[in-house]
Structure 1
């Protein structure tokens, strides 16, 4: 912006900018602002503008009338702080390039802030709108996780309670198992004790018209142990353990006392040892036809009978020669095996 040096008659400014309106006095060449003169602006290149004189030059000019003796008032060339005329516009400070730059910067900054604020609001609105479904899903997910966590804690609590109950049941079951095992042993003992007077005759052929009491007495005569009627309390055939078994049903003899039972067993063993070629058989007991061996053993309880059968199988596997029963218990005698091929 062009700046020229100027002599002012209305103020103390030493320079003037082109944007300010002023007029030059044709007499003293001083410049005056229209604003300070409180007169309407006069257009440049006009006759009034070219002939204009400042108030100081007008007052200093001699009067043409001789009758006027009023002295001329001296107007100072420099103008001090003058009170503005009534209804005159306020005095404006000069505008510089720095002021313009500052104003422009403030305007740009304000506009930029407004645009940034609008952009932020728009972005926040868009982001909020886009994130709303995700926010809802996260809330639902959080609720689901809370529900799952609650259920998991309930299941964990139930599992701990079930584990504790299971441990208690295990202890009870173990105790019951021991109790049942002990009771089975006692029951087996009692069953065997209830058979302490009994004998069992195995493999004797059955006859529709047989008399078991006569058969038992005949056996006593054969083995050399005569039995009286009061020694035999009861005689009967018992059912087979398996219907597929082809062996005849066994005969159970209930005797008066264990002493009589032991005497008969000892007599049978002695007879078989004395007659190894003609051991006790069906012919000795009054059955005609094919001679079949007859066995006289203790009457065992079901558990002891199963144990005796298992002992006999194991004796064959291990090479034992004899398996016998003594007072309800199985006994084994090992056999010496010689290799016949050496």
Structure 2
């Protein structure tokens, strides 16, 4: 069971290793938590450091073997960065379809990058097998308590900076960020979980009464492309009666991303813009005076695809 105590322990453990990201007010009652300013460009660095440092504390982290994960995206980069910072090797299994630019970034962070089949499930299986054979610490992309607890530290920060926060809005993929934020908030604010209609893992789980596989597609599938909500996220979500789940169309995500750039000069990836799309599309309408913080969780995106600046401002 993930609790706020786990998040507070993660905050202490990762102090000095991760950045404290700021809040930016964007309206009369709205703020952005600028988590895209975190190391490697996403919130994932928080969980990566917490997982690896906790393993080291328990004597599980062999300095000669290090850690292993399966991810060609934000999680892989975060674990490679954390491992390099701690001084241990990182092996990252990626699908053969992973774009070269992401593989290059993994190499830049010092990872030993290995191909693990044609899709994520095969890369995941290869990473698990490597962990068992080599004795490396396996680091899940989202469904481990220390990963989720690390992510939750950002909610502790935002509530320190804005104690009167009424609502925190987050995007959901596998649910590590959602689980951490729910545990950290612990009833002190409402949490709104936002998903594209093309990747509805939480909404499907709530409808079925348990996590179920969903078809995944759409503009945000590179970062919100988990096919099933993680077990930790499900456990925390079903114990959070105030949780609000909303869905947004891909077109709303694209529009929200463009607005973040044109109005605030925030270069968001589509997955991070999904949270903001709840507001811009009207999927979630705050009450008058409601103080809302939207977590912009990542910016690993191609800046060429951002909307052009309006001719007049």
Q: Which TM-score band applies after superposition, normalised by the shorter structure?
A: under 0.3
Structure showing greater relative contact order (alpha-carbon pairs closer than 8 Å, 6 or more residues apart): 2
TM-score when normalising by structure 1? 0.23
